[in-house]
Amino acid sequence: MKNGEFQFMMTSALAELTWPTILSKRHMFREIFLDFDPGAVSKLSEKKIAAPGSPASSMLSELKIRGIIENARQICKVTNEFGSFDKYIWSFVNHKPIVGQFRYPRQVPVKSPKSEVISKDLVRRGFRSVGPTVVYSFMQVAGLTNDHLISCFRYQECMNGSESREKGNNSEANGEIGKLEETTDSG
């Protein structure tokens, strides 16, 4: 989840902007937030980047900028603890996407009990602006939940992608078991 960490850092900050604005300024966001590298962003000077007249302050409030930098710091901590933000976030859904079987757009929720659990854990870890609705939005973007309508062509594509992901996790787990067995046999 290379850019997934950045998506998470930015999700709540960009909520106040329209998609056309975000897309037209993404090159500026990429430059300001150092190619979306959480490690580099975590080391930014909040005062310098949020200073009046800076490119960041012309697009985002100081509070949003501080939140992005703080979330980058927390992502680095999670990465150190779990090996990757990907492993951490996917652990909440047992490394398998939650599949909605929605026929109509009105059925798709804006949050879920799972997004509430994730939100609480993130807040406990020091993340900012990560309410259940923001987290659920991230879950949709990152593929943790497949909320495409069953009539949508992407529904089945996402289902096929989740099967590939599951096979990858099983082979990774089998590889770890093999390493453990080799260690146990030689010891």
- In the annotated binding site, the residues are 148, 152
Residues 94, 99, 101: CA angle, nearest 5 degrees: 160
- Contact present, 132 and 111 (Cβ < 8 Å): yes
Cβ burial of 85 (10 Å; 0-12, 13-18, 19+) is buried
Nearest in space to 73 (alpha carbons), one of 5, 26, 15: 5
Residues shown for the chain: 187
- Binding-site residues from annotation for Zn(2+): 148, 152
In one-letter notation, the amino acid at residue 44 is L
E-strand ranges in the chain read 98-99, 145-146
